Amino acid sequence: MIDISAFQEALGIMFSSVGSWGWIVPGLIIGLVFAAIPGISITMAMAIVLPMSLYMDFFSAIVFLTSVYTGAGFGGSVPAILMNIPGTPSSFATTFDGYAMSQKGEHNEALGYALFASTLCGIFGYVLLLLVLEPLADIVLRIGPLEMFAVAIWGMLLLGSLGSTYISRGLLAAALGILLGTVGMNTAGFTRGTLGIPQLLDGIAPIPAMIGLLAASQLLGLAGRDYIIEADGARDVSLRKILKGCWGTLKYPGVLLRGSVIGIVIGAVPGVGSSIGNLISYAETKRTAKDSASFGKGNPKGVIAAESAVASGEGGSMATMLALGIPGGGATAILIAAFMMHNIVPGPSFIETQKPMAYAIILNNMVQAVVLLVVGIGFIYAATNVMKVRTRYVLPAILVIATLGTYAVTGEVSGPITLFVFAMLGFALNRYQYPVPAVVVGILLGRMLETEFLRSYQLSAGHPLYILERPGAMAIFVIMFASLAMTAWGKRKQNRAEAAEARAMEKLRDEAAANAAHTTPSKG
Amino acid sequence: MTHFTRRDVFRMSAGGIAVASGMVAMPSILRAATYPSRPINVIVPFATGGYNDRLSRAFMPYLEQELGQPLVIVNKPGAGTQLGNSYALNQPADGYSILCTSAAPYIPLTVLLQNAPYKVDDFTMINLPSRDYTLAATSSGGPVKSFAEVIEKLKKDPSSLSIGVQPASADYANMVLAFQAAGIDPSKLRIVTYDGGGPARNATAGAQVDVGFVGGEGFLPLKSKIRPLAIFAAETVDWYPDAPLIGASGLKTDFVEGSQRGWAVTTKLKNEHPDIFKTLVMATEKASKNPKAIETLKLQELATTWYGPEASNKAYLDNAAKMAKYVDLLK
């Protein structure tokens, strides 16, 4: 639990280095802008500013970099909501309901929901981190391949909720996605599906592929319109509506809490990162919601669920980084590099000897989350003006930026080529009504699914009873099946209740009709 | 973004200047006298934050001081350094592109296993200060206490312990060689494969696997979470003196050195412009011996030892030959 004297010292560090607070706002703005550009991931935004931080003192450098991280966590949701193109892989689930809300002219509110969910869950994630910094780190190391496999399966359940008109095409699309996700050299050293192209040895670059799949269909669809939103009155930019969305977030504490917990746990696991937490949070929220039919059609809860997991995942991966010196994802790998460049090595000994510094970093991140609220509103206000620009100007700009972004991801022309190939694939999938998101989920999860299954198999030497030695994995599977069963049960009860209600209504109507028939003549 | 574009502009202008200088056909002596006259690219075939990236960035100011020109770090990760290596070979051999890389095991591995379109001796070493060795370790709370115990248990039942290792790596070859020497059939072992040193180390520290065979240096931050069982080195390793040598376990086994990291150039540059090569060697030597550089890099657990081009190149080629000898184990 929390060490009081270290905590007081941490407050001392915070207030004695007020100068470093000045780096929060520039850091947040850089993060927001870079993450809002499709193709520039959080990791890349941080890699770009890393050299700048070398010229600052340690605390300022960390404040600056973590501010970029915080800003980028939210920035990705802006294009996701406004244009259905996730700025970073972590905001993929935000597109499901966020873009649907935009289409209804509720983009102001959607961004408000996303921003407030980010802020609240960001703070919540760090509060939790403050309390469980050390125990969490040890738990994370105990999470093995079977547990991770269970998590990946959980993520795949999302496919069930992506819904398309044809179930068979949905499954085919998911299978294609998983196959694409396993291209390259697998963990056992076997190479598959690379067509002899060395660039594919590390697998298909997920960011260019994702942008190609999602953006292409999107942009082609938009090309026929004058504006992103057709209705004249719906294109307004309204601070009042943004704030209304912010305020509305507070109505769903359950969604926020679930998203945060999922985000922290998954964010803390090394090598998984926040690109999966948002999918699981979304799927769980949708499955347990009473109004699950309206998800994907502009339900604010979908936006909140996705964004809360992204924001709190940041706290989770910071825990792993500070306490173990292990990066949970790309962004924390950069942070570790920054620590090292200032001659500080995060890890168990860092927590033991420099606890106040660790606490000060966490506290500063909470401050950043609060500042994000103000900076974020300003950013949203500026960004929503995109709605007022004609698509004939917006589309080419986005395409150019996305192409440059994919070039930056891979550092060579293979990025734009991937973008192009997957844009064609996305167009074809759309044309023949195969659900594109199912392919994206497959690409994001396929590698993990295969790797963790293979390792579980290797560890157990093929004995299925191995699962009995892994209580954690059993617990995940039990919770998963219980949640599925409960949803099915709830749906059944709901259907029955609805059927009963419908029958009762019918009966009433019949009676009323009979009464009317009975009374009318006497009236006449 | 600005950083990337600027670098791209750099690269483009670099290409332009190279073409121009080629056309004018300036005598090489004149060119050497002016070398270096513009920023030098340092190609790191790994992502930001890894050992080579850190090494290049930490060493950069001291090397800049000696060369009198800024260095620009270019990260070219992917395909086990094959992409970065190919990129380096495609640059003009004018001394404006140098490599900071894990020469071993990656260059021989890409050649032996990935059919990379270059040869091991297409690269020449300037200095390889960092030498890493395979470390067999277990979780600090685990039941296994020594490497002899591992051998004993596996001799009785080869599936009694799970082994975590990266396939097609020096660590894998060392593991197979050690178990073969002990008379254990490696095909009967419960081997769990990881696609990187990091995940394999986490699995070892978290007791996911009973014994992990991974490069030892990366274990240093997690030192308190593991118990070293055997390090595959001939002499006590100065950065991990507590780790028992493999020879001490009573096992007679050959082994390959884990990693040799540091500074390299293309052999083409050395052959065509020996003067430029000499300038680079002298600058690196001076920077490596700069007391301030040694102090700063030591704090970050980065190596600065000066072995020189002859010794470094020999170590690199010897290791590559040994890997070629045991290539069947790597597959």
Read off the pLDDT of residues B38-80 as tens digits, 9 standing for 90 and up: 888 899 888 766 778 888 888 888 988 888 888 888 888 777 7
- DSSP states along B176-237: HHHHHHTT--GGGSEEEE-SSHHHHHHHHHTTSSSEEEEESGGGGGGGGGEEEEEE--SS--
Quote the minimal CA–CA distance from A48 to chain B in Å. 7
Q: Do A270 and B199 touch (CB under 8 A)?
A: yes
Most confident of A444-453, B71-80, B322-331: A444-453
The CA-based diameter of chain B, rounded to the nearest angstrom, is 73
- Judged against a pLDDT cut of 60, whether residue B20 lies above it is answered with no
Helix (H, G, I), strand (E, B) or coil at A403: helix
- Judged against a pLDDT cut of 50, whether residue B23 lies above it is answered with no
Give the separation between CA A413 and CA B248, rounded to whole angstroms. 51
According to DSSP, the β-strands at B162-165 and B211-215 are: parallel
Of B146, B149, B194, nearest to B171 by C-alpha is B194
Question: Which chain A positions have a beta carbon within 8 Å of B49's beta carbon?
Answer: 327, 333-334, 336-337
pLDDT digits (tens, 9 = 90+) for A32-65: 988 888 777 777 788 778 778 877 888 888 899 9
* Contact of B55 with B98, CB cutoff 8 Å: no
Give the separation between CA A382 and CA A380, rounded to whole angstroms. 5
What's chain A's average pLDDT? Answer: 82
Nearest residue of A to residue B165, measured between CA atoms: A188
Residue B11 confidence (pLDDT): 53
Dihedral, CA of residue A136, residue A142, residue A145 and residue A148, to nearest 10: -20
* Contact of A61 with A22, CB cutoff 8 Å: no
Give the separation between CA A283 and CA A155, rounded to whole angstroms. 8
Place of tokens 């599925």: A484
* Contact of A312 with A259, CB cutoff 8 Å: yes
Question: Which chain B positions have a beta carbon within 8 Å of A34's beta carbon?
Answer: 1
What is the DSSP secondary structure assignment for residue B99, as one 8-state letter?
E
Give the separation between CA B78 and CA B68, rounded to whole angstroms. 31
Residue B49 confidence (pLDDT): 66
Q: Do A343 and B296 touch (CB under 8 A)?
A: yes
When mean pLDDT is compared across A304-308, B28-32, B270-274, the lowest value belongs to: B28-32
- The residue among A148 and A1 whose pLDDT is bigger is A148
Give the separation between CA A27 and CA B53, rounded to whole angstroms. 23
- Judged against a pLDDT cut of 80, whether residue B26 lies above it is answered with no
Quote the minimal CA–CA distance from B27 to chain A in Å. 33
Residues in chain B, how many? 331
Place of tokens 């994919």: A406
Q: What is the mean pLDDT of residues B326-331?
A: 76
Q: CA–CA distance from A290 to each of A285, A287, A294, B164 (Å)?
A: 10, 8, 9, 45
pLDDT digits (tens, 9 = 90+) for A316-350: 888 878 877 777 667 787 788 788 777 777 777 77
Of B284, B208, B186, nearest to A469 by C-alpha is B208
Quote the minimal CA–CA distance from A56 to chain B in Å. 15
Return the percentage of chain A with pLDDT > 70, whole number: 93
Half-sphere exposure of A433 (CA within 13 A, CB side): 7
Give the separation between CA B97 and CA B77, rounded to whole angstroms. 16
Helix (H, G, I), strand (E, B) or coil at B74: strand
What is the CA B212 to chain-centroid distance, rounded? 19
- Judged against a pLDDT cut of 60, whether residue A463 lies above it is answered with yes
Residue B21 confidence (pLDDT): 45
Q: Do B195 and A199 touch (CB under 8 A)?
A: no
Return the percentage of chain B with pLDDT > 90, whole number: 16
Asked if the C-beta of A323 comes within 8 angstroms of chain B's C-beta atoms, the answer is: no
Q: What is the mean pLDDT of residues A445-462?
A: 86
- Judged against a pLDDT cut of 60, whether residue B86 lies above it is answered with yes
Residue A161 confidence (pLDDT): 61
pLDDT digits (tens, 9 = 90+) for A173-217: 888 999 998 888 777 777 888 887 877 877 888 878 888 888 777
| Nearest CB to B78 within list A202, A271, A404 | A202
Residue A267 confidence (pLDDT): 82
Residue A117 confidence (pLDDT): 92
Give the separation between CA B219 and CA B165, rounded to whole angstroms. 14
Quote the minimal CA–CA distance from B26 to chain A in Å. 31
Kindly report whether the peptide bond that precedes residue B105 is cis, defined as omega within 30 degrees of 0.
Answer: yes
Q: What is the mean pLDDT of residues B212-240?
A: 86
- Judged against a pLDDT cut of 50, whether residue B269 lies above it is answered with yes
Residue B33 confidence (pLDDT): 62
What is the DSSP secondary structure assignment for residue B244, as one 8-state letter?
P
Q: Do B193 and A189 touch (CB under 8 A)?
A: yes
User: Chain B interface, mutation test: which of A68, A187, A410, most B Cβ atoms within 10 Å?
Assistant: A187
- Judged against a pLDDT cut of 60, whether residue A477 lies above it is answered with yes
Give the separation between CA A279 and CA A161, rounded to whole angstroms. 11
Question: Which chain A positions have a beta carbon within 8 Å of B4's beta carbon?
Answer: 48, 408
Residue A165 confidence (pLDDT): 66
ipTM of the complex: 0.71
Kindly report whether the peptide bond that precedes residue B36 is cis, defined as omega within 30 degrees of 0.
Answer: yes
Give the separation between CA B318 and CA A228, rounded to whole angstroms. 63
* Contact of B59 with B40, CB cutoff 8 Å: no
Half-sphere exposure of B163 (CA within 13 A, CB side): 28
pLDDT digits (tens, 9 = 90+) for B171-185: 888 999 899 888 898
Give the count of beta carbons closer than 10 Å to the beta carbon of residue A219.
Answer: 22
Question: Which chain B positions have a beta carbon within 8 Å of A415's beta carbon?
Answer: none
Give the separation between CA A384 and CA A67, rounded to whole angstroms. 22
- The token duo for A434 is 């195969």
Band (A522; pLDDT cuts 50, 70, 90): very low
Give the separation between CA A311 and CA A128, rounded to whole angstroms. 13
Asked if the C-beta of B58 comes within 8 angstroms of chain A's C-beta atoms, the answer is: yes
pLDDT digits (tens, 9 = 90+) for A346-403: 777 777 778 888 888 888 889 999 999 899 988 988 888 877 778 788 788 878 888 8
Residue B24 confidence (pLDDT): 44
What is the DSSP secondary structure assignment for residue A127, as one 8-state letter?
H
Band (A413; pLDDT cuts 50, 70, 90): confident
- Judged against a pLDDT cut of 80, whether residue A219 lies above it is answered with no
At A326, the amino acid letter reads: I
pTM as predicted: 0.74
At A211, the amino acid letter reads: I
pLDDT digits (tens, 9 = 90+) for B101-121: 988 888 988 888 888 888 888
Question: Which chain A positions have a beta carbon within 8 Å of B192's beta carbon?
Answer: 145, 455, 458-459
pLDDT digits (tens, 9 = 90+) for A224-274: 777 776 666 667 778 888 888 888 888 899 999 999 988 888 888 776 656
List, in sequence order, every residue forming a beta bridge with B43; answer none if it has no partner. Answer: B74, B99
Q: Do A334 and B48 touch (CB under 8 A)?
A: yes
Band (B19; pLDDT cuts 50, 70, 90): very low
Band (A497; pLDDT cuts 50, 70, 90): confident
